[in-house]
Amino acid sequence: MVKVAGITTGFQERLYTTAEVTLNYVVGPENGLPLLLIPGQMESWQGYKRVLPELSRRFHVFVPDLRGHGKSTRTPGRYSYNLCGNDLQEFIQQVIGRPTIVGGLSSGGVLAIWLAANAPALVLAVIAEDPPIFSSVWPRIQTEKFLVHNFRVALDTLGGEPGKRDIERYFASLAAPVKGKTELLKIPGFIVAIVSFLYRTNRALRPDSPYDPPFLPFSFRSGMKFVSEYDTDFSRATIDGNLSKDFSPQETLQKVSCPMLLLRVEAYRHETWGIIGAIDDEDAARIVALVKDLKCVPIQGGHGIHIEQPARYIAEVTTFIDDLQAQGKLPVVSPQPV
């Protein structure tokens, strides 16, 4: 079982301080080209733990906690793609120190695209994992009722201080749309009660790994950690438009000149709740039309591909990089001998 607790073997946890924030991050062994992985909203670096060992065999992997997440600085009222993008641009310049492959999930995927557009000399290629680059941006986010619902659940139930939040109430409030029906389907109460019991018991018996109760999948265990600690003002910034302030998806995508891999999870539009997912067919067509050197791969399953389907994620990333190297679009860097 991959644990949420602890540092992945071969990795080190470090801090980097900018003029405004301190970013917590992990870094792996110096094997091959640098690879910066950017977690999505509510996610910390631990979300990548299922893929870190394999990726670190051929890449020099860096995974930061974005501002407002994990052990990085909270900046209420100052969350935006431009602010986070500038944090990451400085991180590449000062910590990685050379052009890198940049990947990210969800809002992290949007930030990976932001870096390619705004700091092209620092980005070798982009891996955009189901980025809601149109659907979560103001003013459209106002019309995407299911996306707004999810963020409001977080704001309403996780407003307490980290470590003192009502995680049971959060999961009890989550719900999913059903085709043909207006009302949302909630998680059955008995399941929430069982999960909460396992969590409380494990926290009492093993306080060193409170988010690792037995029998629960990694996606659920890591999710409990993420919602326990992230700054919910990041979600507020998403729905009130501050996250996407002064950010143009179209202009950003047009400026991407490096190769880009788009991992797109199948989404659909609900008659009441709007987009269910991150990228609908119209969004996908716009991305294809705007990015010059793009490979688009459809994925079946959940939004967090690297969390839920680590083998598939690793296969798509390595195939993409192998193809670019074979075409001479990326340098070939051999791993260091063990």
Q: What is the pLDDT of residues 72-83, one digit of tens each?
A: 999 999 999 999
Are 172 and 189 within 8 A, CB to CB? yes
The pLDDT confidence band at residue 325, using thresholds 50, 70 and 90, is very high
Burial status of residue 324 (CB atoms within 10 A of its CB: 0-12, 13-18, 19 or more): buried
pLDDT at 269 over 70: yes
The pLDDT confidence band at residue 68, using thresholds 50, 70 and 90, is very high
Q: What is the pLDDT of residues 200-213, one digit of tens each?
A: 899 899 999 999 99
Mean pLDDT of the 124-135 span: 98
Residue type, 226: F
12-326: CATH number: 3.40.50.1820
- Measured CA to CA, the distance from residue 192 to residue 210 in angstroms comes to 17
């705007």: which residue's tokens?
290
pLDDT at 336 over 70: no
**Which residues touch 319 (CB under 8 Å, ≥6 apart)?**
none
Closest CA to 221 of 249, 234, 202, 204: 202
Q: What is the mean pLDDT of the chain?
A: 95
Query: Apex CA 66: angle with CA 239 and CA 35, to 5°?
Result: 125
Give the pair of three-digit tokens for residue 22.
């301190």
- Measured CA to CA, the distance from residue 114 to residue 134 in angstroms comes to 13
Question: Rounded to the nearest 5°, which phi and psi values hold at 212?
Answer: -120, 50
| pLDDT the model gives residue 333 | 80
**Which residues touch 200 (CB under 8 Å, ≥6 apart)?**
none
Q: Is 243 helix (H, G, I), strand (E, B) or coil?
A: coil
Are 237 and 271 within 8 A, CB to CB? no
Q: What is the pLDDT of residues 10-38, one digit of tens each?
A: 999 999 999 999 999 999 999 999 999 99
Q: Is 297 helix (H, G, I), strand (E, B) or coil?
A: strand
Q: What percent of the chain has pLDDT over 90?
A: 92
| pLDDT the model gives residue 105 | 98
